[in-house]
Structure 1
Amino acid sequence: MTDHQGQLMIRTDGSADELFGLLEWFNDDDELRGRVDMPTTPIRPGQMGDLADALVVALGARGIAPALIQSLSTWFTHRRSDIAVTLTLDHTELTLDAKRVKTPEITQALQTLLDQANKPQ
């Protein structure tokens, strides 16, 4: 997969439906709408098509860290099934497991990861 500089990649260990559900959740948030996308891969000959395996959050110049942290934390608290979410930013990965994390832990871990995007390279 290509390196997405300035983009946060989000993957789940659940089905593609879980990922689509998370995308819909983000699209219901005014601050995140249009900033989260599900990139598609080109269909190769002989394939019926690939399911998307990740969401991409465009971090951009306008910081969206607080909105992303709040939205993802709330999404975790509304989950009815166990799921793990892996966030990747600049080769750093963070995995959050719905069974084991509490909202303050999610907030702290996400803030630390997203702060890396704001550091000068």
Structure 2
Amino acid sequence: MPASQETITLSVHPDLPSAAARRSLASWLRNEDRLRGTVTAAPAVGSTAPPDEMSAEDVLLVAVGSGGAVMVLVQAIAGWLTHRRDDVTVTLTRPDGWSAELDVRRARDMDQVTALIEAAVRAATPEEG
């Protein structure tokens, strides 16, 4: 794994917690060519679901590196959020404990959603020396 590679954890919290939201986001991200093979699901700490089933507590792990991978992730999340018909919160977390919570209420403005997520991912991604 290159030194600049990092894993960003995505948690999705719909108003009514559901594994369907995470499955939907995972599928959406895996359809992006540059993210294919970098998206995995993992049980959240304390999850009680069987290991082979995605539960409402699961998180998504996305391996990103320098270059355009972070922006591809941002655009993919923004696209997914604008296609949601319910309220949803996406939390981004990096290994050092930093996190940002994106509370999106029936998002319809792709530019607004993209700007919000770009700011969060920029803050979550270490600056390159």
Check whether TM > 0.5.
Answer: yes
Higher strand residue share: 2
The Cα RMSD (Å) is: 2.6
- 1:46-74 deviation per Cα after TM superposition (whole angstroms, max 9, x unaligned): x7625351001101344412211111111
State the shift of 1:16 in Å. 1.2
Say if 1:76 and 1:28 are closer, same or farther in 2 by CA, change over 3 A.
same
1:1-121 equivalence runs, <5 A: 6-13=6-13, 14-40=17-43, 49=50, 51=55, 53-89=58-94, 90-99=96-105, 102-116=109-123, 117-120=125-128
User: How many correspondences in the alignment?
Assistant: 112
C-alpha distance in structure 1 between counterparts of 2:111 and 2:91, whole Å: 17
CA distance in 1, matches of 2:35, 2:84: 19
Alpha carbons of 1:60 and 1:16: their partners in 2 closer, same or farther (altered >3 Å)? same
SS of the residue 2:33 aligns to: coil
CA spacing shift, 1:120–1:65, aligned 2, 3 Å: closer
Structure 1: how far apart are the matches of 2:30 and 2:106? 26
Query: What is the TM-score when the length of structure 2 is the normalising length?
Result: 0.70
SS at match of 1:84: strand
Contact 2:29 2:36 in 1 (8 A): yes
Q: Secondary structure at the match of 1:12?
A: strand
Distance apart, 1:94 and its partner CA = 1.6
Q: What is the aligned-residue identity percentage? A: 29
> Residue 35 of structure 2 aligns to a residue in which SS?
coil
Q: 1:60 to 1:98 in 2, by over 3 A?
A: same
TM-score by length of 1: 0.74
**What is the distance in 2 between the residues matched to 1:9 and 1:108?**
19
Structure 2's unaligned 5+ residue stretches are: none
Moved more, 10-19 or 82-91: 82-91
Letter in 2 for 1:95: E
* Alignment correspondent of 1:44: none
